[in-house]
Structure 1
């Protein structure tokens, strides 16, 4: 998606949450390949450290911070690590998320609802709040939040809490884009379709969706790959997207174009 020669994110410092696996791990590798210095964050310390090793083996610069995005102090420490280690924070890919239980709404539990909202929506809010404080002082920055096609349309997979949370991420992104445009800060969301990740595998194992049905949701008739989402996020974070803000970008094989 770069369109011109040279790394998209050369010299920029980026935070990536949910970096232990899936889209987050792919983003760590893609952002590093595009020249970014990284703060990798995840509640899964072992997976996060493995991602760090992959980035460093490829010649990238990164640190890992064990972070639960639902805990304010840990989120604040993550952002402070970026500034302390690299001197500034240019972009953030708030990607941590969970799908929760795949059950009809009437059979869902309070604990499932709260957990899904806490991780996907409140976690994104807490990350944005800490990141925007730094970017506001700099008068520059770019934030990309991971939503989903479930943030654009309803999904019939027993994922009411997930769908509500991901719609909230889109709304939060748009509101922040308006609030911070005058400070030269852009805020966008990326909305993946069915992508081959542990999260999708969990939905398939639950019986809420078959792999064939997941492919069939998308006119391109295949699952997405994590690096395809990561490349979209990298472009949105880069200066090449300097006139793009408040967008919920589908990367979904055409699933939401009908």
Structure 2
């Protein structure tokens, strides 16, 4: 279902609520993940230390017959337990290293879409808010790239082919943008491209390169050629803008591109909440 101007406020509130819920779930998982490993390793270390000290004291008391049998010596009571603990401390270091690697991997999985390796929608929106509402340069552009007729591919060839198309287009988008630009998968058939500091000319060139490259790619699932095209909605801004404002404006431009036949670019400039339409770029 496409977005209309009339549901701008409701859409923004819904995105905001989903964003907060997703962020809370993500960070709660990340914070809880290492605690289990810490507890297990610490418990193992303390239990081993106490067990060995108790055993050493019991053995000394069993074989020593004098009145001081209950008092372990320095070697048997403390040195040997420390030697026993040393491997456990090494194990602790190994476990902590493994835990850090797993935490990093888990964070990467949460941050990126598994099919396309692009940022997921939640973090993409959060990153835009940091760039576009923070101090410093706020000029830039947002491109929303919508895959044309992906539903037809899914219905006629299968969802596996549809996923291949999504992956191919994601690769084209990532290879087109600069290293400092952001690419996120913001829907089943939609990508967002954030171009910080981009001028109107820069944004138009990037949008056209994406559109042209997708239309020229050879996509042959099941051995038959299937044309791929995208519609692009571009939003230019020179003042502070939130992710919600940019996404809603870009979605509106996508709707215009769809109505005009798809495989085209529509752009607007976001200024004081007004979106004056500009001629299509293709």
Question: When the two structures are superposed, what TM-score results if normalisation uses the length of structure 1?
Answer: 0.31
TM-score by length of 2: 0.29
Higher helix share: 2
Greater C-alpha radius of gyration: 2
**More relative contact order, 1 or 2 (CA 8 Å, 6+ apart):** 1
